[in-house]
Structure 1
Amino acid sequence: MSVQTEINLSQVVVRQSQKWQQLALGLLCMASISSPQYVWTLLTKPLLARLDVHLPVLQVTFSLLIIFQTFLSPLQGKLIDRFGAQRFIGIGTLLTGASWIGAAYSQSIWSLYLLYGVVGGLGTGIVYIGVVGQVMRWFPQQRGFAAGMVAAGYGMGAIITTLPIANSLASHGLTQTLVEFGVGFALVGWFASRGLRPAPNTDPIPSATLTTGRHYTPSKMLKHPLFWLLFFMMACMSTSGLMVTSQLAGFASEVGVSQVVIWGMAALPLAMSLDRLTNGLTRPLFGWVSDRIGRENTMFVAFALEAAAMTLWLTFRHDPLLFIVLSGVVFLGWGEIFSLFPATLTDTFGSQHATSNYGWLYMSQGVGSILGGPLAALLYQTSHGWVPVFSVAIGLDILTALLAVVILKPWRKRFLQH
Structure 2
Amino acid sequence: IIFGAGIGFGYVCPIASAGKWFPDKKGFINGIAVAGFGAGSFIFNYVIKALANPTNLETDHPNFVSTVSKNIPLMFIILGIIYLILIIGGAFTLSNPPEGWKPEGWVPPAPSEKSGISGLEFERSQTIKLPQFWMLWATFILSAISGLMVIGSYAAFAKTVDAGDNFIYVIGTVDFVLIGSLAALFNGLGRIVWGKMADIITYKRAMLLMFITQAILLFIYFTTNNNEIYFLLMTCAIYFCFGGNFSLFPTATTDLFGSKNLGPNYGMVFTA
TM-score by length of 2: 0.81
What is the CA deviation profile of residues 329-367 of structure 1, one whole-angstrom value per residue up to 9, with x for unaligned ones?
A: 111111111111111111121111111111111111xxx
Which residue is 2:200 aligned to?
292
1:6-17 matches, cutoff 5 A: none
What is the CA deviation profile of residues 25-61 of structure 1, one whole-angstrom value per residue up to 9, with x for unaligned ones?
A: xxxxxxxxxxxxxxxxxxxxxxxxxxxxxxxxxxxxx
Task: Find the partner of 1:274 among 159, 175, 182.
Answer: 182
Q: Are the equivalent residues in 2 in contact too, given 1:313–1:322 (CA < 8 A)?
A: no
Out of 307-316 and 155-164, give the one that drifted further: 307-316
Task: Find the partner of 2:46 among 139, 155, 163.
Answer: 163
Q: Are the equivalent residues in 1 in contact too, given 2:118–2:256 (CA < 8 A)?
A: no
Q: Does 1:239 align with 2:145?
A: yes
Q: Does 1:325 align with 2:226?
A: no
Task: Find the partner of 2:79 among 164, 172, 181.
Answer: 181
Measure the CA separation in 2 of the matches of 1:188 and 1:217. Answer: 30
Which residue is 1:216 aligned to?
122
What is the CA deviation profile of residues 295-339 of structure 1, one whole-angstrom value per residue up to 9, with x for unaligned ones?
A: 111112212222222233211224222211110011111111111
Shift of 1:128: 0.6
Shift of 1:211: 4.8
Task: Find the partner of 2:99 among 186, 201, 207.
Answer: 201
Measure the CA separation in 1 of the matches of 2:117 and 2:243. Answer: 25
Secondary structure, aligned partner of 2:54: helix
1:45-56 matches, cutoff 5 A: none
Measure the CA separation in 2 of the matches of 1:313 and 1:213. Answer: 40
Shift of 1:133: 1.3
Over the residues paired in the alignment, what is the CA RMSD in angstroms? Answer: 2.3
2:108 maps to amino acid? P
Measure the CA separation in 2 of the matches of 1:249 and 1:316. Answer: 13
Measure the CA separation in 2 of the matches of 1:198 and 1:302. Answer: 31
Unaligned regions of 5+ residues in structure 2, if any? 56-67
Q: Cα 1:182–1:119, aligned 2, differ >3 Å: closer, same or farther?
A: same
Unaligned regions of 5+ residues in structure 1, if any? 1-117, 365-418
Q: Are the equivalent residues in 2 in contact too, given 1:163–1:269 (CA < 8 A)?
A: yes
Which residue is 1:12 aligned to?
none
Q: Are the equivalent residues in 2 in contact too, given 1:259–1:266 (CA < 8 A)?
A: no
Measure the CA separation in 2 of the matches of 1:306 and 1:260. Answer: 30
Secondary structure, aligned partner of 2:159: helix
Q: Does 1:251 align with 2:134?
A: no
1:238 maps to amino acid? A
Measure the CA separation in 2 of the matches of 1:139 and 1:216. Answer: 19
Q: Does 1:261 align with 2:170?
A: yes
1:330-341 matches, cutoff 5 A: 330-341=238-249
Secondary structure, aligned partner of 2:121: coil
Q: Are the equivalent residues in 1 in contact too, given 2:116–2:204 (CA < 8 A)?
A: no
Q: Are the equivalent residues in 2 in contact too, given 1:306–1:331 (CA < 8 A)?
A: no
Measure the CA separation in 1 of the matches of 2:49 and 2:228. Answer: 19
Q: Are the equivalent residues in 1 in contact too, given 2:28–2:196 (CA < 8 A)?
A: yes
Q: Cα 1:213–1:229, aligned 2, differ >3 Å: closer, same or farther?
A: closer
Secondary structure, aligned partner of 1:171: coil
Task: Find the partner of 2:17 among 106, 110, 134.
Answer: 134
Measure the CA separation in 1 of the matches of 2:80 and 2:225. Answer: 34
Task: Find the partner of 2:252 among 339, 344, 353.
Answer: 344
Aligned-pair identity in percent equals 28
Tell me the number of residue pairs that the alignment of Structure 1 and Structure 2 aligns: 245
Secondary structure, aligned partner of 2:242: coil
Measure the CA separation in 2 of the matches of 1:140 and 1:363. Answer: 24
What is the CA deviation profile of residues 86-111 of structure 1, one whole-angstrom value per residue up to 9, with x for unaligned ones?
A: xxxxxxxxxxxxxxxxxxxxxxxxxx
TM-score by length of 1: 0.54
Shift of 1:254: 4.8
1:207 maps to amino acid? P
Q: Are the equivalent residues in 1 in contact too, given 2:119–2:255 (CA < 8 A)?
A: no
Which residue is 1:309 aligned to?
217
Which residue is 2:89 aligned to?
191
Measure the CA separation in 2 of the matches of 1:237 and 1:171. Answer: 36
Out of 137-146 and 188-197, give the one that drifted further: 188-197
Shift of 1:236: 0.4
Whose helix fraction is larger, Structure 1's or Structure 2's?
1
Whose RCO is larger (CA < 8 A, sep 6+)?
Answer: 2
Q: Cα 1:148–1:335, aligned 2, differ >3 Å: closer, same or farther?
A: same
What is the CA deviation profile of residues 220-240 of structure 1, one whole-angstrom value per residue up to 9, with x for unaligned ones?
A: 222221221111111101211
